[in-house]
Structure 1
Amino acid sequence: MQQLKGKLRLSVERQLALDPAEQNAFVRSTLTVASWVFEAVTSRKRHWQLTRQRALPVRTISFGNVTWGGTGKTPCLHHVARLLDAKGCQLMLVSRGYGDDEWKMFASEFPTGLFAIGKHRYENAIACLVPGQNERTVALVDDGLQQWGLKKDMEIVMIDAYNPFGNGHLIPKGRLREYPERALPAADIVVLHHAGHLSIAAQTKLQAAIQTMTRKDVLFAMTKVRLVDLPQAKDVAASMKLRKHSRGIPYHAPESRELIIVGICGIGCPASFESMLRENFPLASVQVHAFPDHHAYVEQDLRSYRQSVAALRQQDANVLVVTTEKDYFRSSDVLEAHLPDLRVALCEMEFLQDSDRALAARIDQLLENPIVR
């Protein structure tokens, strides 16, 4: 089912990438009607859940977005989790668990965390709580913006600076999960991810446009992706342990015009993966092959890449096959079995303009305030 949903989504994305005049008329009409249905269903769901909100007995931080695709929720969640972990908090990840990648990544870095995984987030979280530990426990709700029935103490909304709101239409005609003017007033913090690819003037213009839809007290942060290590797949666990002691140190890539990088990913924003590789390997030839988001790899997916890489190496080409951390944790066994010498791009979120300090201050304030339910 997940593979079928991925293929359907990829087909829709291909249509959306076309100019409206070039789109198939039947597909365009079908997507328009489907978007109307989506809006009607989600509006009723939103109203119903907001009138029946429930609060967990612990501090609750949500990470969400208004569009589908990669907006940096996972690296932002991990950044906040590190801040909380350093302060001695008990972390609890609350997640639907799509694709098995996010919670596996979280478990690798925070093995003592609590895990409320599944559709019924409130009930799963309540079942995970440790008696007497509510004061030091913080629930981190992955993809929580549209979880209207769950009360949050802090709402962090991620926006992709590459393409903030798509074409302005709701799913499936566009990328919006809900209209930003309806969703953004709930935000306490807005993170403009991939902002490093914009000029300062463009960053300012984008922030000003979004501020018309947010509360006046909202905090804005600018971020980009930073590569911190590129270990072989078999060394990922060891590299992650070492990374705890070298946080914030960027990866220094070898400079070579002869290097060929073959990137393989199944994430929400493959463009960010390609951009990161090109930024760190400016002299290399970079080829990125994108699968649908949360794609679960099988041998057939990887056979052609293995053969083409082997052929290049027989010609003495220097080839690196690279995948993302999410892809690795989702399909580590099949990737390691069929792509020898696979490397995994371990990345962190880098905050621009000292906005990480302002975020940390908001977190401190949340921890200082008593839990009121």
Structure 2
Amino acid sequence: MKRQQDQWNQRWYGDQPPALFYRLLAAIYAALSGFRRFLYRSKIFRTQRFSVPVIVVGNITVGGGGKTPMVIYLAQRLLARGLRVGIVSRGYGGQRKVEPMLVTSGADAAASGDEPLLMAKSLSMPIMVAKKRSKAVKALINQHHVEVVLSDDGLQHYAMGRAAEIVMLDADRLLGNGHLLPAGPLRETSERLKQADLVIYKGEMAGELYYQHHIECIYRLNQPKTTRSIDSLRSQKIMAMAGVANPEGFFKMLAANGLAVVKQPKGDHHVFTDADFSDQYVTLITEKDAVKCTAIQQPDVWVVKTRIEPSAKTVEAIDALLNRVLS
């Protein structure tokens, strides 16, 4: 899986133009996805409307983009306003017998998916996963009486009505080669950005709305109260491991904090085992990966807990959007 992802990333984010075969497939994809959206906009296909506002945090590219950290940030700001907040997600990769499924902090990542479990461990609010997000939204309203719903991804899930859309982009990758799937990484054309309420970049982007990641603490895997400083790591042999869509972002953050690491990128949603780790290194992993590593027995594995820090302009834009949606 990792090799396949690397091959696609090379095609999508490399310097070579896509092959004619992939461009032809992209043209078919464009026609089908455009027709599908037309059916929803023409009300031939039904869009479910809800009694509470739904805010979608999604992207027009495949993978990454910083959606989940932004959802957590928005949830915290809404909680600070005294609102009952719920989150819906597709729970990518999770194998569930029943949907929608309520995700708790003790859930199994194999059932819930990585991101929903990370959010459940970070927030005190109901989180529902379902392939059809509309069902999850209704469950949150009917069973948990939420006042606002955040959707982690789901920009293209037009069966789910929404009050606002926030599109996330990776400042390092942007739109790749600018082509639609499978010739490029785009789910929809760049014109879709004009229809979003906000476009926010993960990583500094001059003149645009953006946020940056900062290290909050580093704690031992499965022992969050046992922490260590960045300074204590600088003299160590460090392996940095990341099973996320764009692991280079994680590696760059560590380098910016003065840590020289041996990079071990894994495929997105990689299932970790003890064989992935080496007792020759202090290993650093992401919070997203940590939720899948509860069974790991290696003693020197540490989790890099981060927080996002939006620019002042971004905070202002987010608050204005929330004020409008909640008015």
- Whether these two folds match at TM > 0.5 is yes
The residue identity in structure 1 corresponding to 2:287 is E
Which residue of the other structure, out of 211, 236, 241, is the alignment partner of 1:259?
236
The answer to whether residue 269 in structure 2 is matched with residue 294 in structure 1 is yes
The residue identity in structure 2 corresponding to 1:224 is Q
1: CA distance, partners of 2:233 / 2:120: 36
Which residue of the other structure, out of 332, 335, 338, is the alignment partner of 2:293?
332
**Contact (CA 8 Å) 1:60, 1:138: kept in 2 or not?**
yes
**Contact (CA 8 Å) 2:129, 2:136: kept in 1 or not?**
yes
Change (3 A) 1:101 1:86: same
> Alignment partner of 2:142: what SS?
coil
> Alignment partner of 1:343: what SS?
strand
The residue identity in structure 2 corresponding to 1:357 is E
Q: Which has the larger radius of gyration?
A: 1
Identity %: 27
The answer to whether residue 315 in structure 2 is matched with residue 356 in structure 1 is yes
> Alignment partner of 2:293: what SS?
helix
Structure 1 partner of 2:157: 147
Structure 2 partner of 1:120: 132
Q: Deviations over 1:130-187 (max 9, x none)?
A: 3693xx5211111121122222111111121112111111122111111011x11321
In structure 1, list runs of 5 or more residues that go unmatched: 208-220, 241-250, 311-318
User: Superposed, which structure 2 residues align to 1:205-220 within 5 Å?
Assistant: 207=208
> Alignment partner of 1:192: what SS?
strand
**Contact (CA 8 Å) 1:229, 1:239: kept in 2 or not?**
no
Structure 2 partner of 1:80: 74
Change (3 A) 1:45 1:10: farther
How many residues align? The count is 305
> Alignment partner of 2:154: what SS?
coil
Which residue of the other structure, out of 176, 182, 189, is the alignment partner of 1:179?
189
Structure 1 partner of 2:117: 104
In structure 2, list runs of 5 or more residues that go unmatched: 94-112
**Contact (CA 8 Å) 1:16, 1:174: kept in 2 or not?**
yes
**Contact (CA 8 Å) 1:222, 1:353: kept in 2 or not?**
no
**Contact (CA 8 Å) 1:261, 1:322: kept in 2 or not?**
yes
Under a length normalisation based on structure 1, what TM-score does the superposition of the two structures give?
Answer: 0.75
Q: RMSD of aligned C-alpha atoms?
A: 2.5
| Bigger fraction of residues in helix | 1
2: CA distance, partners of 1:327 / 1:131: 30
Structure 2 partner of 1:211: none
Q: CA deviation at 1:265?
A: 0.7
Aligned structure 1 segments of 4 or more residues deviating by more than 6 angstroms: none
Q: CA deviation at 1:189?
A: 1.4
Structure 1 partner of 2:33: 42
The answer to whether residue 65 in structure 2 is matched with residue 71 in structure 1 is yes
The residue identity in structure 2 corresponding to 1:292 is G
2: CA distance, partners of 1:127 / 1:256: 45
Q: CA deviation at 1:261?
A: 2.2
Change (3 A) 1:179 1:30: same
Q: CA deviation at 1:354?
A: 4.5
Change (3 A) 1:151 1:261: same
Structure 2 partner of 1:247: none
The residue identity in structure 2 corresponding to 1:294 is H
Under a length normalisation based on structure 2, what TM-score does the superposition of the two structures give?
Answer: 0.84
Q: Deviations over 1:192-211 (max 9, x none)?
A: 2201xx5xxxx13xx4xxxx
